[in-house]
Chains A and B, each alone.
Chain A
Amino acid sequence: MSAEPRFAAGDWYAVAGERVTVLLPGSQRDRVAHLWDLTDSGADVDAVLDALLAGGLSSLDHFALVAHGDDATRLIVRGAPTATVSSSAGDDLVSATPGTTWAERLVTGVTSLRVTLTGDGEADRVLTPGLARVSVVEFGAPTASGTPAPAAAAAVMEPEPVATEPEPVTPEPEPEPEPEPEAVEPEPVAHPEPVVVPEPAAAAPLHFGEPDDDPTPTGETPVVRDEWYDRDGQTQVGSPAPDFDRPPIPGQEIAPEVVSQPVASLIFSTGDVVAVDRTVLVGRAPEARRFASHDQPHVVTVASPQQEISSTHLEIRPGAGADHGSAIATDLGSTNGTVLAQPGLEPEELTPGIAVSLIPGAVLDLGDGVTIQVTNA
């Protein structure tokens, strides 16, 4: 990631610090000045994220955040922005699934990163620390679509002296008085184009093996006829259906994979204390299935001499959507059930497969004397 960041001009604000860059729609200019104060004073990503979210999520439909750490790059996109990350592990297209809070990645060995806010402009201007009005921002090695023109730093605004002037927002180079209205704020309803979602470039699946017009057939791939299907010779790679990647529990919103701050802490009667910053699976011999390398669940094994507890009994994870910020519990179809006592409410038995939001002080009883107390993180 040595090359300088670059951008294409647009309506979004780029608050570019040395390590943390926040991208906000034009309508968010209120937040921009404060964020610039923070990033310019070298605040770390958590402090910036705190400040960004301080006004609540409801008024912040779209943003993107890129933070370069010592050995990893952290990326968060909410709403419309999409990002293409190339790293030693391959390319990844990151966009928030509609209905989720955001999409987040922590990627090591990033070689290039392109965040698309609006349009598909060529990022040919150098983004220096400060503020800029942008539509596309690129970090690291240039992607195929854009080579930087190093001289064109023109549109980058000088980072104004810090606290004294909370007005570095006014866009100098394009002094349109209020550049917002039109394309600026994708009216919440009007992003049914969950923007630029993959359409994975090739509509035609990749054909492995010799292409049809291969001028030098090796003769090694047998031509197999009639009812015999040569599976390898025919195996192709197609594109995954978008909703196939992380099958949710039916009827529930897809959980955020890993959240930056635990939403709750679980105190087990066995003495274990587990933070809910990702999915937590509890049982006599819990099995975790189909996770990605970056969102490995916490697996908590509890002894159950009477076998009252099922092998994978209960799931607790950070809530999404309306449950954002709290932990939610789902009985995974256990044999003997789970009883939940929320403060001030009658104890209830969890319905298998139905998530229930947990309030601090809640106690989950799995049987065999195993209870879990929910506390603030």
Chain B
Amino acid sequence: MKNVDLHHGAATDVGLVRKVNEDSYLVAPPIFVVADGMGGHSGGDVASQMVVEEFQRLSEVYDPARGAEHVAGAFARAQARIVDFGNAHRALQPGWHAGTTAVVAALVDDNGVAKWLLANLGDSRIYRVTEGRLEQISVDHSVVQELIDAGQITEQEAAVHPERHVITRALGSPEGIQPDFFLLPLGSVERLLLCSDGVTGMIEDKEIEDILETIADPRDAADGLVRAAVAAGGRDNATAVVVDVVGLVKDATYDSQRQLQSLESKLGGRL
């Protein structure tokens, strides 16, 4: 796995209502993270920052060949820190909790082939754009998502459901963490979006798709998404990280080894 050229952009905004930005993000190619903290000042912002710090630390020693293991390890370390942090606080303020969502994208080396390893805890989201179509990859860990999956409510009903803020998994949860992982071929993702619910709660998927389709530069696209979320009311912290795989070889059958061998034989072994 070499020379995967990534272009990326990130933007975050506290929004129009909240005073503290509890979202954090990390851009440390080939690792990207968005975390949306919960727990108020010195709670959610600290928790989401802890996740970002752990992945920042990971990025310094990251081995793509052991990507899944490394990402799971960073989750576990972040979880341990947030739980410790919560316990220390609870000694002073009973009932106090801090937690955070997290979505992670990391390039991994799967037997020499670069792939996207994506991971999700909570209701921040990962989308991809392929052939002009936006597709949500992560599945929210939320009560309304469970109700949708069970066929009990529609997505429209979910948007106004009284329990739409209740998430079922998060870092900092005393019951432990259970992130979902996803493994996608590099060629199946032209553009990747990681964002907090301050984006997806404010603008429709259609608008997200339009912005990602029309703005070519990933930095401008991330800005555009956050600005649109703020313009739509900015009720929550909004964060977006956009990653493009540049020079993507779209032929899924491309095989560098075979290409090299073929070249060698064509050149009569002069390589």
A232 with B22: in contact, given A207-B97, A220-B41 (CB under 8 Å)? yes
Note all chain B residues with C-beta closer than 8 A to A215.
93
User: Which of the 9-residue segments B25-33, B178-186, B212-220 touches chain A?
Assistant: B178-186
The digit string for B27-46, where 1 denotes a CB below 8 A from any CB of A, is: 00000000011111111100
Whole-angstrom distance between the alpha carbons of A88 and B110 in the complex?
27
Instruction: Report yes or no: A235 in contact with B177, Cβ–Cβ below 8 A.
Output: no
In contact, B95 and A218 (Cβ under 8 angstroms): no
Determine whether A288 belongs to the interface, using a CB cutoff of 8 Å to chain B. Answer: yes
Tell me, yes or no, whether A247 is within 8 Å of chain B by CB. Answer: yes
Note all chain A residues with C-beta closer than 8 A to B176: 89-92
Instruction: Establish whether residues A291 and B185, one from each chain, have CB atoms under 8 Å apart when the complex forms.
Output: no
Could you say which of B94, B177, B179 contacts A211, with CB atoms under 8 Å apart?
B94
**In the complex with contacts A290-B181, A291-B181, A209-B40 CB distance below 8 A:** yes
Tell yes or no: B146 within 8 A of A by CB.
yes
Report if B18 contacts A (CB, 8 A).
yes
In the bound assembly, the distance between CA atoms of A288 and B169 in angstroms comes to: 20
Binds A, one of B1-9, B54-62, B230-238: B230-238
Describe A's contact surface by its main secondary structure. loop
Given A241-B146, A290-B180, A291-B181, are A210 and B141 also a contact pair (CB < 8 Å)?
A: no
The stretch of B75-83, B203-211, B240-248, B263-271 in contact with A is B75-83
How extensive is the interface on chain B, given as a class? 35 or more
Contact B175 A91 (CB under 8 A): yes
Q: How far is it, in angstroms, between the C-alpha of A209 and the C-alpha of B253 when the chains are bound?
A: 50
Closest to A218 in B: B41
Is A252 interfacial (CB-CB < 8 Å)?
Answer: no
Interface flags for B88-101 (1: CB within 8 Å of A; 0: not) read 00000111111100
- In the complex, which residues of chain B have a beta carbon less than 8 angstroms from the beta carbon of A311? 185, 188, 252
Please give me the residue from chain B that is nearest to A245 by CB atom.
Answer: B178
Contact of B93 with A211 in the complex, beta carbons under 8 Å: yes
Contact, CB under 8 Å: A303 / B170: no
B167–A235 CB distance below 8 A: yes
Indicate if the CB atoms of B17 and A209 lie closer than 8 Å. no
B183 and A287 contact, CB distance less than 8 A: yes
| Nearest-CB residue, chain A, relative to B67 | A296
B72 within 8 A of A: yes
A207 to B177, CA, bound (A): 17
Q: Does B87 lie at the interface of the complex (its beta carbon under 8 Å from any beta carbon of A)?
A: no
**Cα–Cα, bound, A234→B17 (Å):** 14
Determine the chain B residues whose CB is within 8 A of the CB of A90 once the complex forms: 76, 79-80, 83, 173, 175-177
A235 to B149 CA separation, bound complex (whole angstroms): 20
Expressed in whole angstroms, the minimum distance between the Cβ of B216 and any Cβ of chain A is: 24
On whether the beta carbons of A287 and B235 are closer than 8 Å, the reply is no
Complex partner residue of B38 from A93, A228, A235, A241, CB under 8 angstroms = A235
> Which of A209, A232, A286 lies in contact with B185, CB distance below 8 A?
A286
- Which residue of chain B has the shortest Cβ distance to A291 in the bound complex? B181
What CA separation (Å) do A90 and B81 show in the bound complex? 11
| A208-B139 in contact (CB<8A) | no
Q: Which residues of B contact A285 (CB under 8 A)?
A: 185, 187-188, 252
Selected from B36, B94, B235, the residue in CB contact (under 8 A) with A229 is B235
Q: Does A336 contact B (CB under 8 A)?
A: no
Q: Measured between C-beta atoms, what is the minimum distance from A136 to chain B in Å?
A: 20
Offer 19 A-B interface pairs, CB within 8 angstroms, sorted by A.
A89-B79, A92-B176, A208-B98, A211-B93, A215-B93, A218-B40, A228-B233, A231-B198, A235-B38, A237-B38, A237-B168, A237-B170, A238-B143, A240-B168, A244-B168, A289-B182, A293-B75, A296-B183, A299-B110
The 8 closest A-B pairs by CB, nearest first: A90-B176, A220-B41, A211-B95, A208-B38, A293-B72, A234-B165, A285-B185, A89-B76
Known: A90-B80, A292-B180. 10 other contacts (CB 8 A): A220-B20, A221-B40, A229-B165, A231-B236, A232-B18, A237-B167, A238-B167, A292-B179, A293-B181, A303-B255
